[in-house]
Amino acid sequence: MRISIAHSTVYRYEPPANGAVQVLRLTPRNHDSQYVARWRIDVSPDAQLAMREDAFGNITHVFSAARPLPEIRVDVDGEVETQDGNGVVRGTAERFPQSLFLRDTDLTRADAAIRALAEEIGTANGCIPLDSLHALMRRLHDEIAYDTALTNTPMSAAEAFALKRGVCRDLTHAFIAVARCLGIPARYVAGYLQLADGITEQEAGHAWAEAFVPDLGWVGFDPANAICQTDAYVRVAVGLDSLGAAPVRGARYGISAESLEVAIKVGQ
């Protein structure tokens, strides 16, 4: 599938900020079932965009902008060719052994409820990883209601699981937390999803999980849609949680108020 992506983010500061620094993880890499045909990233005001790679192998761009800074615009535009890998993701940039992805983080730390779910799913599926993960994905999809009102409410996996509501980020955190309890390495993926219903305008990027299954390798699970990764998914960055894979992490100087506007188009 050939997927074109346009993703623009505008930060407005009132009064103008005294400067800002941002780290962007907005550039996908190639792997066996993903080829980046064209990709451009553009920042205004003009700034030196330094391209590097983070510890997980994600491509990052860092830039700083000086005062007075009324707004920052980050525009991403590109085309990616994808193939269906039956959920399995091969040929990715790996910088760690899988066991690193058993590490817990503040956002993915298990609590008693999550541990109980892990135990239940493990037992029900005879501790077979692939079966457990499929069961887990369906379970979270059915149990946690999708609620976009929570987009800007950062929550941990445990909090989202207790609330039984969340966005793709929260479902993914919960998925990761349970998988790690089962001893299955799991990680967070930030990227784009081309929707089946043909809607191209989206309010936010997508997020799902990858879990490491013996004999298969990394497999993409999308608990928000209860499917494994298909050729409709464009994988941009991975991390231990949403913070590690965040498309943008930034800071501004001064005491201005910030407003944010995001426009994403994912389509053929």
Which x/- pattern over 147-186 shows residues binding another protein (rule: CB under 8 A)? ----------------------------------------
62 binds another protein (CB under 8 A): yes
Q: Exactly one of 4, 8, 19, 216 binds another protein (CB under 8 A); which one?
A: 19
Burial pattern 78-99, b for ≥16 Cβ within 10 A else e, equals bebbbeebebbbeebeeeeebe
Q: Which two tokens stand for residue 263?
A: 């426009």
Q: Is 16 in the site for another protein (CB under 8 A)?
A: no
- Residue 54 binds another protein, judged by CB under 8 A: yes
| Contact in structure between 223 and 140 (CB atoms under 8 Å) | yes
Among 2, 38, 90, 95, binds another protein (CB under 8 A): 95
Nearer to another protein, 88 or 100 (CB): 100
Copy the structure tokens of residue 148: 């976009």
Q: Is residue 51 at the binding interface for another protein, with CB under 8 A as the rule? A: no
Q: What is the largest CA-CA distance in the chain?
A: 60
Of 18-26, 204-212, 220-228, 259-267: span binding another protein (CB under 8 A): 18-26
Binding string, residues 97-136; x marks residues near another protein by CB under 8 A: x-xx-xx---------------------------------
Q: What angle do CA 66, 5, 194 make, to 5 degrees?
A: 135
Using CB under 8 A, which of 56, 188, 212, 233 touches another protein?
56
Binding flag, residue 250, another protein (CB under 8 A): yes
Which of 2, 15, 55, 68 lies at the binding interface for another protein (CB under 8 A)? 55
Q: Residue 190: exposed, middle, or buried by beta-carbon count in 10 A (0-12, 13-18, 19+)?
A: buried
Q: Which is nearer to another protein, 47 or 88 (CB)?
A: 47
Query: For another protein, which is the closer residue by CB, 126 or 255?
Result: 255
CB of 253 to another protein, least distance (A): 7
CB neighbour burial string for 255-267, b if at least 16 within 10 angstroms, e if fewer? ebeeeeebebebe
Closer of 3 and 179 to another protein (Cβ):
179
Q: How far is the CB of 196 from another protein (least distance, A)?
A: 34
Residues lying near another protein in the complex (CB under 8 A) are found at 18-19, 21-23, 47-48, 50, 52, 54-56, 60, 62-64, 66, 95-97, 99-100, 102-103, 240, 243, 249-251, 253
